[in-house]
Amino acid sequence: MNTVRASSISIIAGCCIQFLLLKAFPDQTILLKVPYVVCGATFCGMSSSQIIKNKFWVLGCGIVYTWIFITSDLIFNGIGGGLGTGACLAVLMFHGLMKLGESVERFILSYKLK
């Protein structure tokens, strides 16, 4: 399965879940945002294994993406590609943070060895 198909199927599944949840809880307007979050999060998951090393990294990217989504929801509302750009930023930011963590860990280990 290529990444485009995986992402599309996840998006359609997210829409189905939203439909079912809205049937069960019709007053919860926050559920209207579910497909948007799922859509952006699938873009994080489209990353290659060179960038996202394991499933926990996907989880971390998802958390960073959620923060970006909550902040940017009203700013980029209706602009195509806004979700993807947020996802790209989340992936790069998380990748950067992990690399920084690895560098700090290496520095501490080398300091201990001395």
Partner 1 sequence: MKKNIGLCIFALIHFYYIIRLLSTGIPVLETCILIPFVTFAYLWGFGHYPHNKSVDASRISSSVISATLGGVCCYVLSPETGPILACGIVGLLASFLRHLFKDKKYHELPYSTYCGCFVGMSAHAILPDAITVSILAGFSGLLFATTKRSLEGVGGRLGSLSFASVVCYLLIHNYI
Binding residues for partner 1, rule: CB under 8 A, are: 2, 4-5, 7-9, 11-12, 14-15, 35-36, 38-40, 43-48, 50-52, 61, 68, 71-72, 74-97, 99-100
Q: What is the DSSP string of 31-90?
A: GGGHHHHHHHHHHHHTS-TTT--SHHHHHHHHHHHHHHHHHHTTTSTT-TTHHHHHHHHH
Task: Kindly state the smallest distance separating residue 33's Cβ from partner 1, in Å.
Answer: 10
Nearer to partner 1, 1 or 24 (CB): 1
Nearer to partner 1, 25 or 102 (CB): 102
Q: Name the residue among 91, 96, 102 with its Cα closest to residue 68.
A: 91
Report yes or no: 106 and 114 within 8 Å, Cβ to Cβ: no
Nearer to partner 1, 55 or 114 (CB): 55
Task: Kindly state the smallest distance separating residue 114's Cβ from partner 1, in Å.
Answer: 25
